[in-house]
Structure 1
Amino acid sequence: MAKINEEQVRHVAHLARLAVTDEEVQQFTVQLEKILGFAEQLNELDTTGIEPTTHVLDLKNVLRKDEVRPSLPRTEVERLAPDWEDGQVRVPAVFE
């Protein structure tokens, strides 16, 4: 079984920019060891003849077709826009 030590937990926490207490490091070490132990049990299963999958359900994309439809007339957009300049909607600067 893969052994996780506190140094590894601290390293992963550092990479994830997480501040962890000594108590949390001990707790996470135990939890991660249990998780990896379970994952190792899965390696013992005979998967001969089983197709690899990326998802357990056979999902299909259910987005609607992209169809060209009429949009608002330019005069209406100009009327609704809070500020208009040179044929474009003017918005406050995002970057300074």
Structure 2
Amino acid sequence: MVSIEEVYHTAELAKIEISEKEAEKFRKEFESILEYFDILDEVEEDVEPTFQVLPLKNVFREDEPGECLTQDEALKNATHKEEGYFKGPRVVE
């Protein structure tokens, strides 16, 4: 199905050098890829595409308000804080 010349031509297009041993390996790999496409061609045209294995749609928890942290609790583990706020690195010089 795939000739060695086609493998070398593909390698040339990809700007890579391959040995004779690699060329034979790639020839076999190209053939197995094309065989897989032949299997896909056997699928009927009216088959719906599958984008996800499980039939789940937008599974979210309810957005319920809860207790907020105090400013001290929010800043408790911050390594850089200043005047009651998180301090980040300077962006504009």
| In 2, Cα distance between equivalents of 1:9 and 1:72 | 61
Deviation at 1:8, TM superposition (A): 3.0
CA RMSD of aligned residues (A): 3.8
Identity across matched positions, percent: 29
2:77 to 75, 80, 84: 80
Unpaired runs of at least 5, structure 1: 15-19
- AA matched with 1:39: F
Partner of 1:36: 34
**TM-score for both structures, normalised by structure 1:** 0.52
Normalization by structure 2: what TM-score?
A: 0.53
Tell me the CA shift for residue 34 of structure 1: 0.8
Q: Say which of 61, 64, 67 aligns to 2:61.
A: 64
SS at match of 1:30: helix
The size of the alignment, in residue pairs, is 86
Q: Which runs of 5+ in 2 are unaligned?
A: none
Residue type at the aligned position of 2:18: D
